Structure 1
């Protein structure tokens, strides 16, 4: 699988995956204007991911204009509970769906900060439902914080989400929370581009 230097997806496997989950095939391209605008307004690296089975898969990435690059790669799959996008998606699940998901996947820890307690995760998802955006405070990768929101398809089903990510030393948690409304607006714009009114 290959990708261009700006993170634009070109890999055949990722394109096929994106087409399978986000119909029609040009959905990732239709999401791009909102992703670019979010990257410019936040100066963060922006990701678009879709839920594929029980994991999230990155299908697009726009790097921040910084001297470093995020380690995330297109096509990488991640457990949902440790990412901002994933928590935004999990917050859309019914209690039965969430319990079934947790019984299948458990809550494996990726860093010392990953939430591995079901009651703690459920409490956080309750807050996500109120604010409509979620946070990852070094839970997926040490030294990286993210804020994410869910994306819906034309039928209103949550199929993934987008996030703005930065190094923890660049954005404190309160600063990241302040970016939440911008991320949420971008997610709503992507949902509209996919046909959700």
Structure 2
């Protein structure tokens, strides 16, 4: 079996810290990764030399991500049909409601947001492409968890700790399973203040040509605009958007 190179692993660990914060100091890296000062210094110098990190002007021990990482991400996204197609569809859905629309995928027990279109309202959801959240606390995550076969779901839940993000978060595995059963029946999932007490969200699955759920699309709005009158309209708009994106991914709905 090929050997994993520790220095490369540590360098990647450093880069992944920037998923949480846009700027970090050498001391931040040392403390978060529990690495010796000399090791951190050598790794940072190497990453700066290759421009994967940039020393912040005027703050030589503060670092931020460099352009090569954007180029790699852009190259990946450019080859991913889901992202390209989702950008178009989410814009159309957002135009129909003027609320935030996202597309996310499952990564273990978390979701990662691939596409986002913001609302133009002053009060709106705070989120970002690339953000990672616990799947069980989000509508998109529930849709994706509900799409797993029983064995795969058991494996995910066996490893997940089900942390709560708000008092409304589901932290009991049995309660989560009951809600996932309802998602399979209804075809949509909701987030009722489970990731942010001020927000409400509805999500539906996106399927590929095989019929497999490969992503989920969500519509999110502050509770002050999430009225019973618009909830049904937005849910239907979201269903149509997810169906449109599924069709673009090659899915043919059964008659």
The answer to whether TM tops 0.5 is yes
Higher helix fraction: Structure 1 or Structure 2? 2
1:125 to 171, 180, 184: 180
| Residue in 2 that maps onto 1:162 | 217
Choose 1 or 2 for highest CA Rg: 2
| Residue in 2 that maps onto 1:148 | 203
User: Superposed, which structure 2 residues align to 1:23-62 within 5 Å?
Assistant: 24-62=79-117
| Residue in 1 that maps onto 2:231 | 176
Q: Is the 8 A contact 2:86 2:115 kept in 1?
A: no
TM-score normalized by the length of structure 2 = 0.66
Which consecutive residues of structure 2, in runs of 5 or more, have no partner in the other structure?
Answer: 1-17, 19-68
- Tell me the alpha carbon deviations over residues 60-112 of structure 1, each in whole angstroms, 9 at most, x when there is no partner: 11011211342211111111111010111111122222221111112110111
Which consecutive residues of structure 1, in runs of 5 or more, have no partner in the other structure?
Answer: 2-9
Say which SS state the counterpart of residue 136 (structure 1) adopts: strand
TM-score normalized by the length of structure 1 = 0.84
Does the alignment pair 1:105 with 2:129? no
Residue 34 (structure 1) shift: 1.8
Does the alignment pair 1:95 with 2:180? no
Cα distance in 1 between the residues matched to 2:183 and 2:108: 22
Cα distance in 1 between the residues matched to 2:201 and 2:73: 22
Cα distance in 2 between the residues matched to 1:192 and 1:43: 23
- Tell me the alpha carbon deviations over residues 118-167 of structure 1, each in whole angstroms, 9 at most, x when there is no partner: 22211111111111110001101120111001112233222221100000
Cα distance in 2 between the residues matched to 1:173 and 1:17: 40
Residue 46 (structure 1) shift: 0.4
Name the Cα RMSD after superposition: 2.3
Q: Is the 8 A contact 1:47 1:58 kept in 2?
A: yes
Residue 43 (structure 1) shift: 2.0
Say which SS state the counterpart of residue 85 (structure 1) adopts: helix
| Residue in 2 that maps onto 1:6 | none
